[in-house]
Structure 1
Amino acid sequence: MNYQELKLLEDDLWEAADQLRANSKLTASEYSMPVLGLIFLRHATTRFNDLLPEVEKAVPARATGALREDRLKLGFQGKAAIYLPETARYDYLAALPAGTNVGEAIRDAMIAIEASVTDQQGNKLLEGALPKDYLGLEQDLLAELIKIFNRPALQTAKGDVFGRIYEYFLNQFAQSGAQEGGEFFTPPSLVRMIVNVIEPDHGTVLDPACGSAGMFVQTGHFIEEVRHKHTVDTDITFYGQEKADLNSKLARMNLAVHGLEGQIRIGNTFYEDHHQLLGQCDFVMANPPFNVDGVQVAKIKSQVGDHQTGRLPFGLPGIATKTKGKNKGDGETISNANSLWIQYFYSYLNDTGRAGFVMASSASDAGNKDKDIRQKLVESGHVDVMMSIGPKFFYTRSLPCTLWFFDKGKPEDLLDTVLMIDARNVYTVASARSHVFSEEQLANLTAITWLYRGEHDRFTALLASYHSKAGQYLATMPERLAADGLQIKALTHALRDFAKATEDDAAVAAVREKLGEEHGITDEALTHFRSELAKLEQQAASWDATLAQSLNDAKPLQDAIAALPDNASFAQRKALQDKLDEANPGLKTALAALEARHKGWLKLLELAEKSLRARQWAAFDGDATRDAKKALLPRDAKKREKPTVRDLGVEAFKRASYFVAQGHWLLHRFSDGLYADVPGLCKAVTRQEIADNDYSLTPGRYVGASVGGVGDDNGEAFVTRMREIHGELADLNAKAMELAAAIQTRFVELFE
C-alpha cells in the first residue's frame, strides 16, 4: 500500500467515522476514545495474526483449550505484538451474531486485554488505559464502526499501516477539537525532524511531556527503517511523563499498538520527577506546552543549581511581579516557563546525551533572566543545532516555532559552533491550514546536519538514492509513453474519420434531419472543426517529435545511472548529477508536450461532441473515443480509481524530473559534498558571534537572506505554475464567452 493509497484509505475511514459521529448523540471528545479503542483493537489483532503461526510452532499439538492459550500467551512475550485473549480479537467481535450486545462484548474485550498484557515482571502495561465506555453507545453505531475498521484492505494491511492510521486519527481528532484542543499531538513532520537529527537508537529515552508518545513511536520507525533493526532486539528503554490522565492513556495505547514498551507516569513535570533520570538519559525528546505562566517559584526553588534535585542548573527565569486570577494567593510565579523546560531537557542528559525539542520561537530571543540562561547554555558548548520552522505545521494553531538540539557528546572541533538552519521557507502545502515536510525535504534538511558533523558518506548515499529513483522512473517511460501513444492514435483516427464525415453532404443532411430544425450544425461550425483539426495535427507532429527525442535522451541517462555501483564516489555522483541537470530541462519540455497533447486532442473531442453533436453521427466511433477519453483524463481519486494511462505517463516525467531536482538542490548548495554556509538557509556560528548578538539563538538572525542562483528551481517553478494558471484562466474565459454567446442567441430566439 503506497502513500497515496494509504492517504485515501485514511480519508475514507475518517469520513465514514465522522458521518457516524454526526448522526449520533456524541461530541467529538466523547467519540474519540471509543473510535481510537477500536483502531487499537483492529491493529493489535492484525499484528497478533501475523505472528500467530510462528508462535503456534512452539505449542505442542496436544495442548488444547486453556493450556493452549497459556502457551500462546507465553510465546508472545518479547514479540513485537501483544497477546490477545480469544474473545478480545477483532475477528471474534466482527463475527458476533445479530442481536448480540456489541457494547458489552467490546468492553469485556478491553478488560481482558488489560489483564493479559504484562511485562516480564508481571506489571499490567495497559491497566486503566483502554476505553470501556461502550455500553451507553448506540448498538447499531458500534456494529457499523466494527464493519468500517474490518474492511478487506485493513485485514490484509502489512507493516505499520495501522500505526499510521492510528496517528492520523489522533491528528483528525486534534483538528476536530477533541483532546483539549489537540495540544497532546505533535505533527509528524516535526517529530521526524527531531528524530532524524538526534538519532535515538539505544539506551534511555525520555520525554517529560510525552502527550500521546509520538516521539517514542517515531523512534521505533527510525530504528526499523534507518538502523534496520527490530525495537525488541534493541537495548532501548522509553520513559514518559504526562500531566493529563487522558493523554497518558493515549500514550500507552500508542506504544502498544506499535509493539513498543515504555513506562508512562502521570505527573506535572514542573513539580514532579517520577522517573528520577537526572544526568542519565541518552536521548531526550519533547514538545512541551509553550509560554506557560503561573509555575510556583516556591515549589521549584529546590531544583536550582547544586540543590538536591538539580534540574535547573542555570537558575530561575524571570519572576512575575504580580499574580492574578487563578494563581492569586499562590505566591511568586515564573513569568514564562519556556526556560524551565529548556533546562530540564539539558539536565536529564548524560555526558554523551542528545536532546531535541520543540519550543516557541520567542524563547530564542527572550531577554533578562532567559537571556542569562541561554548564555550559560551557549558557553557550555552543548547547543548543537537550532532550526526555525515556519507557520502552519501545528494543526490547531498557525504559529511558527523553533527546534532546539543539544549534544553533550559533541566532538572537540564543534564545541565552539552552533549550526543555524532557517527552514521557514521549506515546506509542502498539505491543505490551506496545514504545512508538512515531504520525505525529501526531511532528508535534505537532515543532510545539512550530516555535513556539519563530517558525515560525508551519508550525503553521498542520499544523492545516490535520488539518482536511483530518477532512474527507476526513466526506465518506465518507454512503456508508459507507448500506452499513451496508442490512446492518442485511437482518438486521432476517430476524429479524422469524423472530420471526413463532416464533408459528406449526405451525412450532414442525415444528422440535421435527425436533430430537427434547431440542430445547430452550421456550415461555419463544420468548417471550424476541420480547421481546428488541421491546426492540431500540425502541433501534434511537434509534440510527438519532442516525446520521441525525450525517449532517446532518457536511455543513456538510465544506463549511466545503472552503471554506477552503490558505493560510487562523490566525484562520480557529482559528474552524473551534472548530466542529469543538463537533461532535466528536456524532461520538463517533454512533460509539457505530453500534457499539451492530451489537452489538445481532448479539447477537439469536446468541440466535436458539444458543437457538432458528434454522438448523433453514424460515422463517429463513440466507444473508441469514450475509452480514449477515460484513459487520457486524470483518475478520480475519491472514487478509488486506478491511475489512468495519462496519470502513469505524466508521473514518469514528473517524478524523474523531481528526483533530479532533489539531487540538484543538494549539490547546488553543497557542491563539494562538504558543509558550507548557505545564505538564507544555514550557517555555522561561533560562540563569540552569538555573544555579539545578545546570545540570540534565532537562525534568521545569522543566515541572512537567500541569494537566487542560476539553476535554482524556485523561480522556474513559479513561472511554470503562473503559465499554467494563465492558460487555465484563458480557457475558462473562452468558455465563458461561448456560454454568454449561446445564452444571447437563445434569448434572441425566444423573443423573435
Structure 2
Amino acid sequence: MTADHFTGLEQFEAGLWKIADDLRANSGLASNEYFMPIMGLLFLRQATNRYYEALAAIESDKAAGRMADRAPVAGDFTKRRALMLPQGTRFDEILQTPKDQSLGAALTRAMEAVEQRFQPLAGQLPKDYERFDNELLERMMRTFDNEALRSASGDVFGRIYEYFLAEFSKQGAHDNGEFFTPPSIVQTIVNVIEPDHGLILDPACGSGGMFVQSSHFIEHAGRDTMKRVTFYGHEKNETTAKLAQINLAVHGLEGRIRAGNEAITYYKDPHELVGKCDFVMANPPFNVDEVDAEKVKGDPRLPFGLPGVNKAKKVSNANYLWLSYFYSYLNETGRAGVVMSSQASSAGRDEAAVRQKIVESGAVDVMIDIRGNFFYTRTVPCQLWFFDRAKARDEARRDHVLMLDARGISRKVSRAICDFSREQQQNIAAIVWLYRGQGERFLALVAAYLSQALAAGAAAAEPLALFIAALDKLGTLTGTFVTTKRDPDPLAETWGELLALRSTLGTDIEAFVAEAAARGKDWTQVARDDNAGLHAARKALHPVAEQCRDLTKQVDLAAKLAGRVVDVAVKDLEARDSDAWAGAEITRARKALESARAAAVEALRRPRYFVKQADWLQERFPDAVLCDVQGLVKRASRAEIQGHDWSLTPGRYVGVAPEEVDEDFDFEEALRAIQIDLQGLNEEAVELAARIARNFEELGA
C-alpha cells in the first residue's frame, strides 16, 4: 500500500546531466531529438533489471517446488511484472558489443526485437541510435550501468521523465500547468480510493505513474493486476503517450492510451467511458484559461454547468471542467482521486456555484491539503480531491466531508524537495479508514508498528555488538601509545573519559537488549485487535525508545572521543614517528568504527521511529474512532461547509495545530558534542595559522 521511491536521486541526476551535456557538445542534436533515445536506454536498463529479478524469482520458485522444473515462458515473466527479453536485447549484453561493431546498430536491433515480441510497444520505442557514434553511446550506457539504477524500484522511469521536463523544456510540447506527479502523492491517492478492480481511467495520464502505483497496490494484496483491472488513459502529447506505454511495459502492464488531438479531454471522450469507470485518478493541468466555451457547452460530462466564461468566450478557469469530468466518468459506486490547484477549493463566483452543486451531489468524500515543494518542477502547494459516488447512500458519511490538513506532514528528501514517508502515507490512510468506520484496519496498523519496533529492537543487538568490537579494536591499537607516561599528558582526560564511557556503554547495551527481549515476550500475549492492550504495549515500549535515544548519544560520543584520541596523538604527539603506533591499521580501524557507528545509530533509530508512529496514531485517536484533531482533521458537515461559502479548503475547518515541543532534545549532550567538534576545529585553526605564518616567513614577508 506504500510507494517505492528512487533513492540517491540527486547523485543520479548529476550523471544524467552529464549525458545531456555530452549530447549537446558532441551530437549536434537539440534536446527534443535526444530526449527519446535517452529514455529508450532507460527503458532497456529498467526492463533488464526486472527481467533478472523475475528470472531469480522463477529459479527460487523452482527450487522450492512452487513451480515445475522447466524452461521459463513469457507468462512466467508477465506474472512477475516483467518482460521476457529476447537474447541480445538485454542492457548488459548490448554493452558488451565488440568495439569494432556498431553499438547503435545493436541498440536499434534490440528495440526492434522488443517491439516484435511485445505488441503494445509496436512503434513506441526509439530506433535511431545509429546516428550516434560508438564512444558517445557507450558513455551514455555506462552512466546508466550503475548500482543505483540496477537496484532502483518504483516509478523511476516517470521520475526521470519529470527531470527532463524540468531541464529540457525547449521541446515546447508541455504547457506550464503540466508536470509529473510525485510518487508519494500518487500513492496517497491510491491508498484513499483503493483501485483494486474494474476500469481505471486517467484522462491526463502523462507518463503513466498512476497506473504503475495502482498495480503496486493490487500486487501488495497478492492479486494479479491485469486480471483485476483495465487501464485507460488520455494524453494529448504523443511523445508523452509513448512514454506511458513504455513505462507500463517496463512493469509488465498494458493500457489503452489514446493520444493526440483525439485525446484532448476538454473536447473529446475517446474511450466513451462516461458513467462506466470504477476509479478515476489524475493530475490535470492547473488553471488553464484557453478552453473554447462554445465547444464544451452542452457536454454531457458537465452536469453542473460551465464555471464561467470570459469576453473571449473562453472558460475562465478549467479546474472545474476537470472536476466535473471526474465526477461524470464514475459509475454509481466509483471513486476518484485528483490533484488540484489550491485555488480551486475556495474560488468564487461561477466556480463557487459549480462547487456548491458538486458538494450537494454528496460525492465529495475527502479533501487533503498538501504543502509546497512536493513537486519536482513546481514549489506550489496543492490539494487532493476525492469523490465517492456510493457515499450519497451511506447515512454515516452522506452529509459530511473529511477535511484533512496534511501540510504539517512531510519529510525532507533534498534541499528543495519534500514528500511523504512510507509511514506518513499509511497514517493518512488510517485516518480515512476511521472516517469510513474501519477501526480494525487502524488497529492492525498500530499493531504492525509495534511489531516492527520490537523486531527492530531485537535486530539492534548485532550492530551494537559490532560497534563495541570496532571501538575495542581501535582502543587496543592505540592503547600502548596512549598509555605511555607523559607530563603533561594531553591524552589523559580524553582517554579516561573514553574508558569510562566504554564501561557504561557495555552495561547500557546489555540492559537495552534485555528490556527489548522482555517486551517482545510480553507482546506475544497481546491481542492485535484490542485497543486497550495496544495502548498498554505501546506505553511499555517507551523505555525501550528512550534507551535507543540515550544509546545513540553514547555511541556518537564514544566514536567522537575515539577519533579525538587519534587526532591528538597524531597532531600533538607525532604518533606516526613512534614504533608503538600502527598507522595503517589504526586508519582502517577508525574507518571501520565510523561505519559501525552509522550502522548502530540506524539500528537504534528504527525501534524508536516505529514507536513514534504508533504514538502519532493512538495519541490523536485514542479510542480508535475518528475525532476532530486541532490542526489536522475535522469531519465537516454540509451545513458547516455552506456556512463557509461552500469552501472545501481543509485549513478553514481544522484550525491551527498547537506547537509541538521536542521533549527528547538534550541540550547538555548536544553542547558536549559541539564542544568536541569545536575543540578539534580550534586546533585545526591554530595549525593552519601556524602554517600560513611559516609560508610567509619562507616568502620573506
Q: Give the TM-score, by structure 2 length.
A: 0.88
Aligned residue for 1:37?
40
Superposition deviation, residue 424 in structure 1: 0.5
1:529 aligns with 2:476: no
Aligned residue for 2:475?
492
Contact 1:174/1:182 (CA < 8 Å) preserved in 2? no
Aligned residue for 1:362?
343
Aligned residue for 2:462?
479
Give the Cα separation in 1 of the matches to 2:6 and 2:232: 30
Superposition deviation, residue 137 in structure 1: 2.0
Amino acid paired to 1:605: V
SS at match of 1:142: helix
Contact 1:207/1:240 (CA < 8 Å) preserved in 2? yes
1:177 aligns with 2:168: yes
Amino acid paired to 2:608: S
Aligned residue for 1:674?
625
Amino acid paired to 2:23: S
Select which of 593, 599, 603 maps to 1:652.
Answer: 603
Deviation sequence 1:26-79 (CA, Å, 0-9, x none): 5554433212212222433455566689999xxxxxxxxxxxx9x967998888
Amino acid paired to 2:302: L
Question: Any residues of structure 2 matched to 1:280-679 within 5 Å, and which?
Answer: 280-303=276-299, 310-321=300-311, 323=312, 332-410=313-391, 411-503=394-486, 524=488, 527-564=489-526, 567-633=528-594, 644-679=595-630
Deviation sequence 1:132-161 (CA, Å, 0-9, x none): 232322322223434454568877x6xxx4
Select which of 216, 223, 236 maps to 1:229.
Answer: 223
SS at match of 2:129: coil
Deviation sequence 1:596-640 (CA, Å, 0-9, x none): 11112221221112111212112234355334311221xxxxxxx
Aligned residue for 2:245?
252
Contact 1:490/1:624 (CA < 8 Å) preserved in 2? no
Give the Cα separation in 1 of the matches to 2:522 and 2:294: 68
User: What RMSD in Å do the two structures reach over aligned CA positions?
Assistant: 3.1
Gaps of 5+ in 2: 60-70
Distance change in 2, residues 1:630/1:201 (3 Å): same
Give the Cα separation in 2 of the matches to 1:108 and 1:403: 44
Distance change in 2, residues 1:213/1:723 (3 Å): farther
Aligned residue for 2:662?
715
SS at match of 1:409: helix
SS at match of 1:100: coil
Contact 1:471/1:562 (CA < 8 Å) preserved in 2? no
Contact 1:21/1:27 (CA < 8 Å) preserved in 2? no
Amino acid paired to 1:172: Y
Question: Any residues of structure 2 matched to 1:264-283 within 5 Å, and which?
Answer: 264-266=257-259, 267-283=263-279
1:693 aligns with 2:692: no
Amino acid paired to 2:542: D
Give the Cα separation in 2 of the matches to 1:131 and 1:724: 58
Aligned residue for 1:166?
157
Aligned residue for 2:66?
none
Superposition deviation, residue 380 in structure 1: 1.3
SS at match of 2:541: helix
Give the Cα separation in 2 of the matches to 1:184 and 1:464: 38
Aligned residue for 1:135?
130
Superposition deviation, residue 384 in structure 1: 0.4
Give the Cα separation in 2 of the matches to 1:665 and 1:102: 55
SS at match of 2:297: helix
Give the Cα separation in 1 of the matches to 2:478 and 2:89: 62
Corresponding residue pairs, total: 671
Contact 1:428/1:436 (CA < 8 Å) preserved in 2? yes
Contact 1:88/1:113 (CA < 8 Å) preserved in 2? yes
Q: Give the TM-score, by structure 1 length.
A: 0.82
Superposition deviation, residue 114 in structure 1: 3.1
SS at match of 2:442: helix
SS at match of 2:298: helix
SS at match of 1:467: helix
Deviation sequence 1:438-462 (CA, Å, 0-9, x none): 0011111111001111111111111
Distance change in 2, residues 1:183/1:272 (3 Å): same
Select which of 213, 231, 234 maps to 1:238.
Answer: 231
Contact 2:458/2:513 (CA < 8 Å) preserved in 1? no
SS at match of 1:313: coil
485-494 or 244-253: bigger deviation: 485-494
Question: Any residues of structure 2 matched to 1:81-160 within 5 Å, and which?
Answer: 81-82=82-83, 84=85, 86=87, 88-90=89-91, 93-118=94-119, 125-149=120-144
Distance change in 2, residues 1:687/1:705 (3 Å): same
SS at match of 2:390: coil
SS at match of 1:675: coil
SS at match of 1:528: coil
Deviation sequence 1:268-303 (CA, Å, 0-9, x none): 111111011111110000000000011111101021
SS at match of 1:23: helix
Give the Cα separation in 1 of the matches to 2:140 and 2:685: 49
Distance change in 2, residues 1:646/1:380 (3 Å): same
Distance change in 2, residues 1:598/1:140 (3 Å): same
Amino acid paired to 1:98: K
Superposition deviation, residue 568 in structure 1: 4.7
Contact 2:367/2:383 (CA < 8 Å) preserved in 1? yes
Aligned residue for 1:7?
7
Deviation sequence 1:178-229 (CA, Å, 0-9, x none): 574793421111100100100001001111111111101110010001x211
Deviation sequence 1:406-463 (CA, Å, 0-9, x none): 0011222100110000001111111111101100111111110011111111111111
Amino acid paired to 1:117: F
Contact 1:498/1:619 (CA < 8 Å) preserved in 2? yes
Give the Cα separation in 2 of the matches to 1:631 and 1:231: 45
Superposition deviation, residue 646 in structure 1: 1.5
Aligned residue for 1:213?
208
Aligned residue for 1:512?
none
17-26 or 378-387: bigger deviation: 17-26
Superposition deviation, residue 341 in structure 1: 0.5
Give the Cα separation in 1 of the matches to 2:366 and 2:187: 15
Aligned residue for 1:702?
653
Give the Cα separation in 2 of the matches to 1:559 and 1:72: 47
Give the Cα separation in 2 of the matches to 1:72 and 1:482: 47
Superposition deviation, residue 88 in structure 1: 4.2
Contact 1:417/1:687 (CA < 8 Å) preserved in 2? yes
Distance change in 2, residues 1:665/1:21 (3 Å): same
Give the Cα separation in 1 of the matches to 2:75 and 2:648: 52
Superposition deviation, residue 675 in structure 1: 1.0
Contact 2:12/2:148 (CA < 8 Å) preserved in 1? no
Give the Cα separation in 1 of the matches to 2:464 and 2:428: 35
Bigger CA radius of gyration: 1
23-32 or 205-214: bigger deviation: 23-32
SS at match of 1:276: coil
Distance change in 2, residues 1:182/1:24 (3 Å): farther
Give the Cα separation in 2 of the matches to 1:744 and 1:212: 57
Give the Cα separation in 1 of the matches to 2:240 and 2:586: 56
Superposition deviation, residue 707 in structure 1: 2.6
Give the Cα separation in 1 of the matches to 2:13 and 2:692: 47
Give the Cα separation in 1 of the matches to 2:238 and 2:85: 25
471-480 or 345-354: bigger deviation: 471-480
SS at match of 1:135: helix
Contact 2:178/2:285 (CA < 8 Å) preserved in 1? yes
